[in-house]
């Protein structure tokens, strides 16, 4: 998101989900859409029925490949080289949108110089994708009017994740595919309210609405509303909190509804850090792997037991409504926070949860026009600044928030950990259709567990043969951080030399293996999509 | 372009691409159907939407007949009524008719039509289909004796889900919907087929004996899993979510995935935390809210006094609501006094 924010001034999907069905070309890179955003994928299939073509760039043969016009199987971590060489072709063959570039962007000339070396041949050398396919993709992309570009963690969870996003931003600006209906750059958000939790100031540098904590005017506005002084020094990120906990600089951590002991890279390291805290408070609906380490566990409620709003991937604010009573003494997260706040002598007095929502609108103009009575069946998309504003289906119609869109010259940088003789395979991690994230909820559904019963590693048939591994064999997978044992699934989804493990399963947690040291320098995202491992039959 | 026609002596106009069924519906004229679904291509299988059109010798299916300028349509003559009644009667002659214990009772289209056409007795006796083999999958109940071969499930699986897990095999009386080679279902278990089934042939395994539609309340909310933001309709009975569906006119067009439709059992899991816990002598033990909040305040405040507010951090949640996240960061900033607030957007 930091990448997008730097280029355009805000980080969110630029378009709406319903617009997908009118795309001519749908370019999906680093997203297993059919499994991870199944209903978005249905819109894409609808577009195909209306004549759209899907291009997929993914190291794995993901299910949507079946419906695609072109599939590019780049090596994990080589996206910048792939995109640069596609752009090289687009420029060379005169498919760049000169008018758009001139009127709405800056930094083009310098960016252009950086593209010179990325011939399709050079692209092929780095990515392993035949140059013909690179050229074909560039032409499909470059010649179409309404291209929608979609990505997820396959782009961002790299030590060069921000650069990957810059490259995609370059691509959409180069071809003028942004700021119109059905054309834009769309990060699909992986969790129900990940957009909302970013919007609400879940960030060490931003107050709600992406308003900087270092901006005195912003702080003053919040200080008046909240009736107290606010800290001006930016805080530290989740990953840095773990590092500081490990060295004893961070003493207390309050975690609401997260499970870093399973979702963060290098689990052993994370657990050690959490155990080193003087006070670990975990607020959740189950005794998660993280809660097991806590000093205090606070019982919260599920989505079905509370009122409020979620903001989905296309900035759509939608209602959450209470359907059932929670068990025992479990309480709404909002109740817990307000009661705790009272103990500190700071009264948070809200008659009901709607009042909290209205306070957000006072502090963030994009929410100012929304109240619960306006949130109907289709929700309402921010920005929605006034009561008579209908919400905003797509962004940047009249310009980017930062003025002109900024081209960034990006050079391909290999992922930090490359396969070698000792660790010859590239491990990439992700989700599968049936489970959700760390499995806290889905693994407690019997039917789900029957169909998706445990951890596995996808191994290419050729690699399996070389290692004398058969489907269902137990294999031991080892990286420089640790080792796990799990069942082999022989599958043509990954290419030779690449293996995949879903990260849902604590009994063979993929994040025991992943690399916490390789962080994107700008947004501190860990390189969960590439690390080097070795595999042995167990 | 718009064409003018007459349906049941009413002069109406409709788009040139409309079928007779669509034109009638848009103008508030009811024609019964079992196989039609506005989101799927017309199929013309159930023969219930038969209408008479002036100049045509035989009744035709309204769902597959495009309108024409000047067309004169009759949708409810005595002849049509008899034909439709016979269609439903034939369907029932080969139906278990066990509405009393059927999961679909109360929102079953077939049951409703049997009632409308007053089918107390059936003129047709004979062999009934018997499918003893049930599917081994954990999500979908397939009670194929109740299938009326409307093919909505097959069509939704191919046209909407892009999976094509099922087709109609065999012909005539033996025709049935099944996966290739009559294996167990191998699909994504999105349950789109269940959502379009007009009878009790397809349902969710978890729904069984859990309160049918009439006994449940519905609450419209938003799915707690991925970022698609699908609108859910939770059906609640006895303080339990007993099934999930979605309305067609929502951002997700009524479609859901396996998690949204079937993964709600966790709400009532016996593993749910139901009291605050404090670690005492190395073990997490139940405590009252008051004791717990005091404990947190004492510890946190002394850390703050000794090491400053920046020795405290908070992680809010991509699962929680906007309001909760807002309050959480407000607590960290305004009460604790630190900007050490983050969440897992990167993970």
**Contact list, B323 vs chain A (CB under 8 Å):** 308-309, 334, 353, 356-357, 360
Cis before B254? omega within 30: no
Condensed to tens digits (0 to 9), the pLDDT of residues A489-531 reads: 999 999 999 999 999 998 999 999 998 888 888 878 888 999 9
Pair (A182, A225) in one structural domain: no
The yes-or-no verdict on residue A332 having pLDDT over 80 is yes
Q: Provide the phi-psi class of A323: left if phi over 0, else alpha when psi is between -120 and 50, else beta.
A: alpha
The yes-or-no verdict on residue B347 having pLDDT over 70 is no
A200 contacts B329? CB cut-off 8 A: yes
B341 contacts A235? CB cut-off 8 A: yes
Q: What are phi and psi of A456, to 5 degrees?
A: -155, 165
A447 contacts B265? CB cut-off 8 A: yes
Pair (A101, A201) in one structural domain: no
**Contact list, A361 vs chain B (CB under 8 Å):** none
pLDDT in the model for residue A242 = 93
B254 to chain A, minimum CA–CA distance in Å? 10
pLDDT in the model for residue B134 = 66
pLDDT in the model for residue A531 = 93
* CA pseudo-torsion sign A331, A335, A341, A347: negative
Pair (A11, A71) in one structural domain: yes
Q: State how far the Cα of A406 lies from the Cα of A418, in Å rounded to an integer.
A: 31
The yes-or-no verdict on residue A6 having pLDDT over 90 is no
**Contact list, B260 vs chain A (CB under 8 Å):** 39
Q: Which ranges in chain B belong to alpha helices (H)?
A: 20-26, 78-93, 109-116, 152-155, 192-196, 258-262, 289-307, 322-330
Task: Supply A473's token pair.
Answer: 């064999």
Number of independent structural domains in chain A: 3
Range with the poorest average pLDDT among A88-102, A504-518, B304-318: A504-518
Q: State how far the Cα of A349 lies from the Cα of A22, in Å rounded to an integer.
A: 46
Measured between CB atoms, which of A46, A192, A263 is closest to B223?
Answer: A192
Chain B contact present for A302, CB below 8 A? yes
CATH code for the domain of A101: 3.40.228.10
B/e letters for B213-236, b = 16+ CB within 10 Å, e = fewer, are beebeebbbbbbbbbbbbbbbbbb
The yes-or-no verdict on residue A1 having pLDDT over 60 is no
Percent of chain B exceeding pLDDT 90 equals 88
**Contact list, B194 vs chain A (CB under 8 Å):** none
DSSP letters spanning A164-191: HHHHHHHHHHHTT-SSBTTBEEEEPPSS
Measured between CB atoms, which of A309, A338, A447 is closest to B139?
Answer: A447
Q: State how far the Cα of A103 lies from the Cα of A291, in Å rounded to an integer.
A: 53
pLDDT in the model for residue B182 = 85
| Band (B17; pLDDT cuts 50, 70, 90) | very high
| Band (A396; pLDDT cuts 50, 70, 90) | confident
Range with the poorest average pLDDT among A123-132, A177-186, B245-254: A177-186
| Band (A226; pLDDT cuts 50, 70, 90) | very high
Pair (A70, A177) in one structural domain: yes
Q: What is the mean pLDDT of chain A?
A: 93
For residues A176-201, average pLDDT: 92
Tokens 């600006």 — which residue? A173
Pair (A469, A373) in one structural domain: no
The yes-or-no verdict on residue A217 having pLDDT over 90 is yes
Establish if A81 belongs to a structural domain.
yes
Establish if A171 belongs to a structural domain.
yes
Q: Which residues contact B20 (CB under 8 A, 6 or more apart)?
A: B7, B51, B53, B60, B62, B63, B65, B66, B67, B71, B73
Q: State how far the Cα of A186 lies from the Cα of A314, in Å rounded to an integer.
A: 8
B189 contacts A202? CB cut-off 8 A: no
| Band (A538; pLDDT cuts 50, 70, 90) | confident
Pair (A38, A113) in one structural domain: yes
pLDDT in the model for residue A519 = 86
pLDDT in the model for residue A9 = 65
Range with the poorest average pLDDT among A75-79, A193-197, A393-397, B8-12: A393-397
Cα(first)–Cα(last) distance of chain B, in Å? 52
CATH code for the domain of A368: 3.40.50.740
Condensed to tens digits (0 to 9), the pLDDT of residues A30-63 reads: 999 999 999 999 999 999 999 999 999 999 999 9
Percent of chain B exceeding pLDDT 70 equals 98
Chain B contact present for A275, CB below 8 A? no
A203 contacts B341? CB cut-off 8 A: yes
Range with the poorest average pLDDT among A47-61, A104-118, A519-533, B24-38: A519-533
Number of other residues whose CB lies within 10 A of the CB of residue B314: 26
pLDDT in the model for residue B181 = 87
A343 contacts B294? CB cut-off 8 A: yes
Establish if A374 belongs to a structural domain.
yes
Q: State how far the Cα of A386 lies from the Cα of A361, in Å rounded to an integer.
A: 10
For residues A284-288, average pLDDT: 96
For residues A294-322, average pLDDT: 97
* ipTM summary value: 0.93
**Contact list, B259 vs chain A (CB under 8 Å):** 434, 436, 442, 448
A38 to chain B, minimum CA–CA distance in Å? 6
For residues B28-47, average pLDDT: 95
Pair (A155, A204) in one structural domain: no
Q: What are chain B's domains?
A: 2-76 (3.10.20.740), 215-270 (2.20.25.90), 273-307 (no CATH), 309-347 (no CATH)
The yes-or-no verdict on residue A208 having pLDDT over 80 is yes
Closest residue on chain A to B339 (Cα): A235
Pair (A94, A30) in one structural domain: yes
Measured between CB atoms, which of A252, A258, A318 is closest to B222?
Answer: A318
Domain around A497:
425-537
For residues A180-207, average pLDDT: 93
Range with the poorest average pLDDT among B121-135, B267-281, B314-328: B121-135
B218 to chain A, minimum CA–CA distance in Å? 8
Beta bridge partners of B221: B232
For residues B231-242, average pLDDT: 96
Establish if A8 belongs to a structural domain.
yes
Cite the beta strand spans of A232-379 per DSSP E: 252-256, 279-284, 296-299, 308-311, 316-320
Task: Supply A72's token pair.
Answer: 């590019």
Q: Which ranges in B211-272 belong to alpha helices (H)?
A: 258-262
Closest residue on chain B to A514 (Cα): B347
Range with the poorest average pLDDT among A150-164, A362-376, A391-405, A423-437: A391-405
A156 contacts B225? CB cut-off 8 A: no
Pair (A13, A84) in one structural domain: yes
A306 contacts B321? CB cut-off 8 A: yes
Pair (A16, A128) in one structural domain: yes
A207 contacts B334? CB cut-off 8 A: no
- Rg of chain A on CA atoms, in Å: 23
């Amino acid at each position: 998101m930091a990448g997008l924010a730097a280029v355009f001034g805000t980080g969110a999907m630029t378009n709406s989900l319903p617009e997908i069905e009118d795309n001519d070309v749908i370019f999906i890179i680093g997203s297993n859409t059919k499994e991870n955003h199944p209903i978005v994928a249905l819109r894409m299939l609808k577009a195909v029925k209306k004549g759209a073509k899907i291009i997929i760039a993914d190291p794995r043969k993901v299910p949507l490949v079946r419906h695609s016009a072109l599939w590019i199987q780049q090596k994990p971590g080589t996206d910048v080289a792939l995109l640069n060489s596609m752009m090289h072709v687009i420029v060379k063959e005169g498919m760049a949108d000169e008018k758009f570039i001139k009127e709405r962007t800056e930094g083009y000339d310098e960016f252009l110089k950086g593209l010179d070396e990325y011939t399709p041949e050079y692209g092929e050398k780095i990515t392993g994708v035949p140059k013909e396919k690179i050229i074909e993709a560039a032409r499909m992309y470059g010649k179409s009017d309404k291209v929608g570009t979609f990505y997820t963690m396959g782009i961002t969870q790299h030590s060069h994740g921000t650069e990957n996003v810059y490259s995609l931003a370059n691509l959409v600006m180069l071809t003028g595919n942004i700021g119109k209906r059905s054309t834009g750059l769309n990060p699909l958000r992986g969790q129900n309210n990940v957009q909302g939790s970013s919007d609400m100031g879940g960030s060490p540098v931003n107050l709600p609405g992406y308003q900087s904590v270092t901006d005195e005017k912003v702080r003053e506005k919040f200080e008046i509303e909240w009736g107290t002084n606010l800290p001006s020094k930016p805080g530290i990120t989740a990953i840095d909190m773990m590092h500081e906990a490990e060295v004893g600089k961070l003493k207390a951590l309050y975690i609401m509804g997260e499970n870093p002991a399973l979702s963060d890279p290098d689990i052993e390291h994370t657990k050690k850090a959490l155990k080193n805290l003087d006070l670990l408070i975990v607020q959740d609906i189950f005794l998660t792997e993280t809660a097991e380490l806590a000093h205090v566990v606070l019982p919260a409620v599920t989505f079905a037991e509370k009122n409020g709003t979620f903001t989905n991937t296309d900035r759509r604010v939608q209602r959450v409504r209470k359907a059932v009573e929670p068990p025992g003494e479990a309480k709404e997260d909002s109740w817990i926070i307000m009661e705790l706040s009272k103990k500190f002598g700071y009264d948070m007095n809200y008659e009901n949860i709607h009042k909290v929502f209205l306070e957000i609108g006072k502090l963030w103009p994009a929410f100012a026009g929304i109240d619960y009575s306006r949130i109907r069946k289709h929700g309402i998309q921010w920005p929605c600044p006034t009561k008579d504003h209908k919400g905003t289906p797509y962004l940047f119609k009249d310009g980017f928030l930062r003025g002109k869109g900024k081209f960034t010259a990006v050079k391909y940088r290999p992922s930090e950990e490359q396969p070698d003789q000792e660790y010859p395979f590239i491990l990439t991690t992700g989700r599968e259709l049936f489970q959700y994230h760390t499995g806290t909820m889905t693994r407690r559904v019997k039917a789900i567990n029957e169909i998706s019963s445990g951890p596995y590693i996808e191994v290419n048939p050729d690699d399996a043969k070389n290692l004398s591994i058969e489907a269902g064999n137990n294999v031991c997978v080892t990286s420089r951080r640790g080792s796990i044992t799990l069942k082999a699934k022989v599958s043509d989804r990954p290419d030779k030399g690449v293996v995949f493990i879903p990260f849902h399963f604590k009994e063979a947690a993929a994040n025991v293996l992943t690399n916490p040291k390789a962080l994107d320098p700008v947004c501190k995202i860990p390189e969960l999509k590439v690390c080097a491992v070795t595999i042995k039959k167990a | 372009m718009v064409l003018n026609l007459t349906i049941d002596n009413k002069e109406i106009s409709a788009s040139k691409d409309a079928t007779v069924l669509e034109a009638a519906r848009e103008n508030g004229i009811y024609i019964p159907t079992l196989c039609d679904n506005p989101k799927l291509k017309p199929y013309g299988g159930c023969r219930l939407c038969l209408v008479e059109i002036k100049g045509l010798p035989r009744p035709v299916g309204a769902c597959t007949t495009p309108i024409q300028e000047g067309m004169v349509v009759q949708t409810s003559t005595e002849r049509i009524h008899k034909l439709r009644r016979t269609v439903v009667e034939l369907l029932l002659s080969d139906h278990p008719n066990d509405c009393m214990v059927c999961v679909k009772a109360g929102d079953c289209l077939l049951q409703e039509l049997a009632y409308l056409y007053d089918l107390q007795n059936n003129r047709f006796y004979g062999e009934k289909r018997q499918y003893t083999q049930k599917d081994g999958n954990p999500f979908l109940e397939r009670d194929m004796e109740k299938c009326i071969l409307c093919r909505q499930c097959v069509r939704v699986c191919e046209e909407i889900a892009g999976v094509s897990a099922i087709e109609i095999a065999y012909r005539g009386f033996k025709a049935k919907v099944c996966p290739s080679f009559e294996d167990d279902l191998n699909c994504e278990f999105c349950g789109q087929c269940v959502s379009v089934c007009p009878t009790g042939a397809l349902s969710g395994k978890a729904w069984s004996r859990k309160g049918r539609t009439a006994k449940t309340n519905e609450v419209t909310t938003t799915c707690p899993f991925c970022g698609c933001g699908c609108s859910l309709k939770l059906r609640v009975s006895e303080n339990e979510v007993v099934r999930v569906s979605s309305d067609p006119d929502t951002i997700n067009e009524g479609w859901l995935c396996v998690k949204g439709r079937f993964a709600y059992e966790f709400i009532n899991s016996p593993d749910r935390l139901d009291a605050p816990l404090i670690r005492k002598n190395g073990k997490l033990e139940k405590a009252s809210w008051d004791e717990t909040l005091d404990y947190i305040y004492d510890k946190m405040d002394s850390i703050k006094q000794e090491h400053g507010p920046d020795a405290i951090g908070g992680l809010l949640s991509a699962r929680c609501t906007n309001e909760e996240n807002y309050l959480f960061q407000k607590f960290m900033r305004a009460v604790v006094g630190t900007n050490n607030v983050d969440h897992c957007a990167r993970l």
